[in-house]
Structure 1
Amino acid sequence: MDLTSPPGAAKDSTPPEDSSKARKKELKRLLEGSRPLDWSERYRALNDAMDEAYDLIDINNREARFALVLMGALNAAVLVVSTRTDLLQGVFGEFPIAVGGLLGLYAVTAVYFFLQAIEALRPGRFKPRLGNWSKDADDYPMGVRYFEDVIQRDAVGYWRAWNEVQTGQLNAEIAIQVHSLCLKNNATRDALRRLFAGLRVMTVLVAGLLTLFVYATLNN
């Protein structure tokens, strides 16, 4: 029995070497969170960012196609109503200026926002400018990934470029590709916002036309 310890006092059974290891692990964990990425970690992170950018491109394309489906439904509704000559004669007799104005505005709006859908879906070229990047820098991209750079070389020259490329240059080129994809996504999102805003306008115009048709039908 240890007579030097006060009664009920807990005795620390942790060996000094274990406590030292625990402190070293904690210090290593703290330093790990503040150190720069090495080349392999940077390569994986950049590829993850590129995958996310491509996923966003797929989402944008699906949203643009969905908007086109809605636009087609609105156009079909207007077309069906336009084939009813009896309704057209009645509503034009009641509201000639209003109906003509709504139809004309709808046609212009439909064409404009159909062009916005094409803008959202078309393949864009958004190659970042490298004007401030010195070609003598160690991490200046060699152009071994981007297709427009690849086709500037023949097959032998392209293979030699891969033999000479450094990890920093490769990561820099991936970063440029991610930046290019983000520029494309930003332009596509802007076009999609205009497209869906146009769908709201077209829906209001169709609702106005249908209201006039219903009113003219009930009064005849």
Structure 2
Amino acid sequence: MEIVRIDLLGTNAYVADGETLVDAGWTWSASSVREAVEDAGYALGDIDRVLVTHYDLDHVGGLASLEKAGLDAPVYAAEPDASFLAGEAKPPLRNAKGAFQRAVGVGIPTPETQVERVEEGDEVAGFEVYETPGHTPGHVSYLSDEAAFVGDAFRESGGTVGTMPSYMCYDTTEERRTAEQLGEVLNDRTAYVGHGEPVENAGEKVRAAFQG
């Protein structure tokens, strides 16, 4: 599988085999995503699907602008993040992260395409959906035989893996539990994180970081 990492000022989007876009970056980074796709020898029109790991400004903000630039593909996301993205519901005010999402949500245009709902065990073009809540309630990862797109289920920094800062999470206890569970399923896959460098042999490294 050919995977292109798109570094967007501290957050990552990815293109797999020129057909699958994983996350979409900031509202203002659509041109950078388009240029990266084109530099890899593809075009936005070649993208057949967008896999969204979760609803956050730096992961879905660019979708509407990318559509205007030529992206014409279904978007996949899990509930309740899918409804937040589709404009059918709002993040909860009772949760600090949710209240922040609601405040910045005015800067996330609703994409025109239909948001397709996914859940644990679904398969989208060879990627298995694995629920990884904690950072957001509808956070999911997408696993193929050799790669795992894990969004913000954990992050990489300086060669080590760790959780996202507590103020960025809905539930830090659930986030930790999710990371521990990922350690059992990632095995020798490379984990492509939302923040940081790809993590090779991710199962071993995540188990070392979060278990015991």
Give your verdict on TM over 0.5.
no
More strand by share: 2
Larger Rg: 1
TM category (shorter chain) comes to under 0.3
Question: Which is bigger in relative contact order (C-alpha 8 A, separation at least 6)?
Answer: 1
